[in-house]
Amino acid sequence: VKEAVLPFKRFRTYDGLVVDSLLGPEMRSTGEVMGIDKDFQKAFSKSQSAAGSALPKPGATVFISVADRDKRLVVLPALRLSELGYRLLATKGTQVVLARNGIESEAVLKKSQGDIGETIVDLINSGKVDMIVNTPSGSSARADGYEIRAASIAADKPIFTTISALSAAVGAISSGFDRFEVKTLQEYEADRQVG
């Protein structure tokens, strides 16, 4: 699995904030890393770790906020995370869908709702969130999504902006956190020639 390494932390707004992690035409990869293993899940986990976004272990806190188009699709990955022992936080709309499907999560406020309590951005900035899932849409969601993604980049937390990437991450997490077996490319080639 190849993973692009993008220099989001190098790009800042005039106010000094990290730029949005959604890719635009001006973004260029500063390189890429590769995870190789016997199965996709372990290779994906290796690629995330090598790119600086190691997946959190069970017991960690995962925030989920998805666009309406993704609400049905997030149910199975969220259920699996819950079964594996992750604490789930969600925005109100996502939390309602999770609860309707028997998945326990805690509702948290968006940045735009922050005048009445601690927001998800506050939680990310204070280190209380270990992984972020955010697939925004619409103008207010776009502004909230920007704040969430910028906070996750600044806090060096893994963030997934598509359900397919989340599903790959959940598969990698499900495969376990055994120590990675490390081989050189030459060793992989030698194994391939023999087998």
| pLDDT reported for residue 5 | 67
pLDDT of residue 155: 85
- Say which range, 20-24, 87-91, 94-98, 132-136, has the weakest mean pLDDT: 20-24
Q: Which of residues 35 and 170 earns the better pLDDT score?
A: 170
Whole-model pTM: value is: 0.81
Check whether 11 has a pLDDT greater than 70: no
* Helix then strand then coil, % of the chain, to nearest 5: 45, 15, 40
DSSP tag of 105: -
Average pLDDT (144-152) is 83
Residue 17 has a pLDDT of 57
Residue 78 is classified by DSSP as H
pLDDT of residue 6: 59
- 19, 8 contact by CB (below 8 A): yes
Q: Cα separation of 186 and 178, whole Å? A: 23
Give pairs for 37-44: CB < 8 Å, separation 24+: 37/180, 37/181, 39/175, 40/1, 40/168, 40/171, 41/168, 41/171, 41/172, 41/174, 41/175, 42/172, 42/175, 42/180, 43/1, 44/1, 44/168, 44/169, 44/171, 44/172
**Per-residue pLDDT at 64:** 97
